[in-house]
Structure 1
Amino acid sequence: MQPFFSTEEVHPKTAFRRWREMVCERLAPAALQADDAELFRGKLEVTSIGSVPISHLAYTRLRTEATADMIRQSRRDNRVYAILRLSGNASYQQGDQEAKTRPGDLVVLNARPTVCMMDANSSLLLDLPRERIETVLGSSRLFSAHTISGALASTTLAHTYLRELVRVGDKLTPDAAERMASIGIDLIVASVAERMAQEVPRSMHGNVTVQRAKAYVEAHLGDPSLDPPHLAAAMGMSLRRLQELFHERGRHISDYIWERRLEMAGKRLSDPACAHLSIGMLAYGCGFASQAHFARRFKERHGMSPREYRQAHRQNVPSVASAFGRSFRSAK
């Protein structure tokens, strides 16, 4: 990670004010209060793994509040924040929901008024697209400001993976970084889904089970063995019961899996970072057993072959040279 700001480089009388200004500009507008401003110490390191901005924050005791007006000002209601607690304790309150976290725990916050109380601590903060998370888990109001315990196996795995990813991130190629970041998001989704499955009202159990199943699908799309029986076994239930739950929501399990695989394939075909991948490699990476099977399903979905789809998107992306030329001409 790259150092971004440290109060060690600032006079103690102005350190907290500078920290407050930096947080509001870099992360999100908020009202910050320290027990003793002149004794406050803080450090921020930043990086991006693929398209996911990640911040490492370490600071002394602090209270933070984001009001509705501040959230509107930030214009970031399309984001959610996953916070992995590395050291110290913290509490987060949104509405009538409060999460108390210890080292190893995880919490997700959405764009709502929030009050945070933190002891001297450090954490990793991931800035994530809300749509990506809600596509699998449903509205973020269902899981924001809930303590996701580090005792859960999925949370332990997410912590270990993301800390290691941050450590080696600068050694990854852009394509590998994007893929690794996507896996990290899937692990966070799996942790949230496992937490949601605990102590839910029986009337909500079907919704939570389907959300857990979708989270599992997202994390295993590249596995060609992923099919309805495999998914049911992973959920610890009969295939018939899982099919009933999907049918109640107007879906078929197999259709959902293939739709997600085709959506992933479409994104990779249109992504310049994946241009070096052959159609066959891309198909296998999205869980298709053969290139012919992939080509047939893709054409049924998009009305053109994978190769034609890739070429069409290349034509819609201006080259760096032509973009530079336009900028140079406009500057003249």
Structure 2
Amino acid sequence: METVFDSTELPVETRTDAWQETLSQALITTQTKFPENEPFTARLRTTALGPAQFSSMTYTGLVSRRTRALIRKSDPELYQIAVVRSGQQGIEQERRLAVVDHGDMVLYDSSRPFEATVAPGAEPSTSLVLQFPRQLLPLPEHQVVSLLAVPLSGRKGMGRILSQFLMGLDENSDACTPRDRARLGVTGLDLVAGVVAHHLDREQDLPPDSRQHILFQRISSFIHEHLSAPDLDPVAIASAHHISLRTLHRLFRHHGTSVAAFIRQQRLERSRRDLADPRLSRLSIRVVAARCGFFRPADFTRAFRIAYGMPPSEYRRFVRHNAVGTQRKAVGTQAQGCGAVSD
């Protein structure tokens, strides 16, 4: 494989521009934003597999958008399937959001707007990407679109076979001749078609309860990722998942809750975690509340007290006090242990 980008070879101040230019040439054109005050690191290796291209990518926090304007300007009409090897990758397309963890994969389409994300400060994301012309996937587009930005398992069955194939390419493609790689491209496309067909068959054949469970999980993930949005409500959620409001409310009643109660619970739980996180101790309670979708401090304080038995300021002090006490106890225990050894 050819290394087409390695941030260690570039000054820090030129890396982001160079990365965006490299991506436009090696993959597809996107608009990319990078976190402030966080040095960007990345590496990209690619190799041709006949009509397909295989890439191994590692990069730190960013948001990469493919907009309608970029698609109108230039569209190679490609599908891309990415297997995440480490870290976590987020991708949003067709009003669906996939948060893809290590070992899983996701399919997306260059002809439709999307947004790919690696969170600032998170572990760098490493993924193996196979991209190929859309017409080479022998399945109807109107069916394939239902799997765009949907997490697909790479740990078992057809998904695992494809994942192992791509990992084998990553490790051994340098030992293959151009003819070998062209033949491997055909094999890779067959495996991708098999994975996509498997998931299409599985969703169509699922009993109603299983389909409801999958839909509930997708909507739960969507809510979790959009907690800070002020317009997160049943209308927006139903629209994003192409279902009616009646279906949405019935789905949540089936799981013993309501849409509004579920959103409120998730926002409160995230705020509780953020208040307990020492890395966020510099954030005011008002900012923590807003990050979780509470934009009226009085409403947040009242809801937090009802849920957890104390106001958020007291909870933060309580957590800090307990953390300090635990640290002191650990230090004291360690000192006693050292004393015993010395004796």
Shorter-chain TM-score: what band? 0.5 to 0.7
User: Structure 1's 91 and 200: CA in aligned 2 closer, same or farther, altered over 3 A?
Assistant: farther
Higher Cα Rg, which structure:
2
Task: Encode CA deviations 1:63-105: one digit per residue, 9 max, x unaligned.
Answer: 111101111222212x111111111111211122222211111
User: Structure 1's 30 and 184: CA in aligned 2 closer, same or farther, altered over 3 A?
Assistant: same
Task: Encode CA deviations 1:222-271: one digit per residue, 9 max, x unaligned.
Answer: xxxxxxxxxxxxxxxxxxxxxxxxxxxxxxxxxxxxxxxxxxxxxxxxxx
Contact 2:85 2:126 in 1 (8 A): yes
Contact 2:92 2:116 in 1 (8 A): yes
Task: Encode CA deviations 1:135-192: one digit per residue, 9 max, x unaligned.
Answer: 2354332322221112331111111112112322233344332222211111122112
User: Structure 1's 137 and 158: CA in aligned 2 closer, same or farther, altered over 3 A?
Assistant: farther
Counterpart-to-counterpart distance in 1, 2:198 and 2:173: 27
- Hey, what does 2:184 align to over in structure 1? 180
Pick one of 144, 151, 154 that aligns with 1:147: 151
Question: Is residue 2:106 matched to residue 1:91?
Answer: no
- Hey, what does 2:132 align to over in structure 1? 128
- Hey, what does 1:211 align to over in structure 2? none
1:136 match: secondary structure = coil
Q: How does 1:14-53 map to 2 (within 5 A)?
A: 14-36=14-36, 39-53=39-53
Question: Is residue 2:164 matched to residue 1:160?
Answer: yes
TM-score where L is the length of structure 2: 0.54
Contact 1:55 1:126 in 2 (8 A): yes
2:198 match: secondary structure = helix
1:14 match: secondary structure = helix
- Letter in structure 2 aligned against 1:158: L
Counterpart-to-counterpart distance in 2, 1:51 and 1:201: 33
Counterpart-to-counterpart distance in 2, 1:89 and 1:70: 26
5+ long unaligned stretches in structure 1: 205-332
- Letter in structure 1 aligned against 2:86: S
Contact 2:4 2:22 in 1 (8 A): no
Report the Cα offset of residue 202 of structure 1: 7.3
Counterpart-to-counterpart distance in 2, 1:170 and 1:51: 18
What stretches of structure 1 move > 4 A for 4+ residues in a row? 201-204
Counterpart-to-counterpart distance in 2, 1:131 and 1:186: 13
Counterpart-to-counterpart distance in 2, 1:201 and 1:98: 23
- Letter in structure 2 aligned against 1:43: R
- Letter in structure 2 aligned against 1:100: V
Counterpart-to-counterpart distance in 1, 2:52 and 2:170: 11
Question: Is residue 2:102 matched to residue 1:103?
Answer: yes
- Letter in structure 1 aligned against 2:174: D
Contact 1:86 1:104 in 2 (8 A): yes
Alpha carbon RMSD of aligned pairs, Å? 2.3
- Letter in structure 1 aligned against 2:168: E
- Letter in structure 1 aligned against 2:171: R
1:22 match: secondary structure = helix
- Letter in structure 1 aligned against 2:139: V
5+ long unaligned stretches in structure 2: 209-343
TM-score where L is the length of structure 1: 0.56
Report the Cα offset of residue 37 of structure 1: 6.1
- Letter in structure 2 aligned against 1:107: V
1:193 match: secondary structure = helix
- Letter in structure 1 aligned against 2:43: K
2:152 match: secondary structure = coil
1:159 match: secondary structure = helix
Contact 1:58 1:123 in 2 (8 A): yes
User: Structure 1's 74 and 37: CA in aligned 2 closer, same or farther, altered over 3 A?
Assistant: farther
- Letter in structure 2 aligned against 1:161: F
Question: Is residue 2:71 matched to residue 1:67?
Answer: no
- Letter in structure 1 aligned against 2:152: I
Counterpart-to-counterpart distance in 1, 2:11 and 2:177: 39
Contact 1:49 1:169 in 2 (8 A): no
Contact 2:93 2:112 in 1 (8 A): yes
Counterpart-to-counterpart distance in 1, 2:30 and 2:125: 18
- Hey, what does 1:307 align to over in structure 2? none
Q: Give the count of matched residue pairs.
A: 202
